[in-house]
Amino acid sequence: MSLQYGTVEDTQDDLLCCRFEGEEITKMYNIPRENRLIGSNQATPNNYRKLAQQVQVLHSCHHAQSRLDNPLESQLTLAHGSCITLGQLMTPSWRLPQLVEVFLSCCETNLGKPSLTDDVLTLSTGFLCAGARSVISSLWKVNDLATALFSIFYYQHRKHGQSRPEALRQAQIQLRELTQVDLKKISQPIEAREKELMGNRKKYLSGSVEHQQWVYEYNMYAKLNRRIKEIENSTQQFPFSAPHYWSAFICQGLR
């Protein structure tokens, strides 16, 4: 039986790399539009819970925050300042036994301080307690571009049949050893999409919903392209070789 995938992307409309990340994962797994929550118009707590109850693999890429002073208030930040807290995830209303895998592509989703509670109470723990078989989560604040690339690499390895821990390891190696030349290859379709969107700029009536969507997508690809160009023009041969880029994520649960 094929697994149903779902994504929650850029819940506060300020992380362009999360949109790119979601688009690339969607292409890999042919995720239907109804299984994607994109931006602040869709990523509400209620919609998040509904999606998490419907799919078997959930990829969540947006802001999150760990509260070391009050772990149960650690949160996944969603639309318009709303959130889902660890305390909520650990209540009976959040039962997700059908979830085979959760990828929390966010900051601090496994940052905890056991000395406060004798246990590591993190957002990752919350999903495991809710019934998810496996959770990938982060130990600190992560770089959005590096994380987007890491996530894409991870799913490529998973699609080739590798286990979760091995796909994670291979994605770490791939990001760590990524060269400027490799990054240029990755950026070529991004640059092509920016040019394509620029050519479509007169297709939509100013002020229409279609025009607003075009403006957002064009700005996303243009800004992302500039970010990558800055790295390509730097003196670093391996721009993501530092451990804080590639070693933040860990895998818990079943293989």
Write down the pTM of the prediction. Answer: 0.93
State which residues of the chain have pLDDT below 70. 1, 114-119
What are the backbone dihedrals phi and psi of residue 241, each rounded to the nearest 5 degrees, phi first? Answer: -75, -20
Q: How many CB atoms lie within 10 A of CB 234?
A: 10
C-alpha distances out from residue 1 to 4, 56, 155, 167, Å:
9, 11, 18, 21
pLDDT in the model for residue 1: 59
Would you state the pLDDT for residue 115? 60
Tokens representing 20 are 């790119």
pLDDT of residue 88: 97
Of 79, 65, 75, 67, which Cα lies nearest the Cα of 8? 79
- pLDDT of amino acid 32: 97
Parallel, antiparallel or unpaired: strands 134-138 and 249-253 = antiparallel
Residue 57: the pLDDT is 98
The HSE-up count of residue 29 (CA atoms within 13 Å, CB side) is: 29
pLDDT value at residue 120:
76
Whole-number pLDDT of residue 103: 98
| Residue 114, pLDDT score | 63
196: number of Cβ within 10 Å:
12
C-beta of residue 143 within 8 angstroms of C-beta of residue 175: no
